[in-house]
Amino acid sequence: MTAVVRSAKTSDVKKIRAIIDTYAVERKLLSKETVTLFESVQEFIVAEVDGEVVGCGALHVLWEDIAEVRTVAVVGKMHGKGIGHLILESILTKAKEIGVKKVFCLTFETKFFGSHGFVEIQGAPVDPEIYAQLLRSYDEGIAEFLDLESVKPNTLGNTRMLKIL
């Protein structure tokens, strides 16, 4: 089995949607509208095995030096095969290439992210001036990152983690 990790295409959105839906039902991932997936397809990467998309993940830039890892998920039959690690490593490489210095995630999979150097944090790891600018965003993920009352309590009950690149 050889996995290929590549940038997502619009033709992958239906499979990404199906993967997300599996975990959204279990309340492990936030559900996303299909239109949102198309609007952010350039943020996604996918993993393929034998031409079939079996995993996905996204990098969402928040500011000059910080981005969020979003929607890392692998189909159940591929768990334990290293697909998620390949996806996350690809996302972290992309973050470095575009100049991001800090990457955070909101996750239940603390052991998985911890194995890649993420550590649990409290609060938002940005300067007050940047925090004030991020408050202007309509993105729900940014609102959750900032720990805003509008998304309290934490919609899924997950953990905030950070990695310095």
Domain positions in the chain: 4-164
What's the average model confidence in pLDDT over 124-147? 58
- What is the fold, at CATH topology level, of the domain defined by 4-164? Aminopeptidase (3.40.630)
Name which residue leads in pLDDT, 45 or 141: 45
Q: Give the Cα separation of 45 and 62 in Å (integer).
A: 18
* Nearest of 84, 4, 13 to residue 43 by alpha carbon: 13
State the chain's mean pLDDT as an integer: 86
Q: Give the Cα separation of 90 and 92 in Å (integer).
A: 5
User: Does the pLDDT of residue 80 top 90, yes or no?
Assistant: yes
Residue 60: what residue type?
A: H
* Nearest of 43, 42, 40, 48 to residue 15 by alpha carbon: 48
Q: Give the Cα separation of 16 and 114 in Å (integer).
A: 24
Q: What is the pTM of this model?
A: 0.84
In this prediction, what percent of the chain has a pLDDT beyond 90? 61
**Which of these ranges, 38-42, 56-60, 155-159, has the smallest mean pLDDT?**
155-159
Q: Enter the tokens of residue 53.
A: 């998309």
Half-sphere exposure of 102 (CA within 13 A, CB side): 15
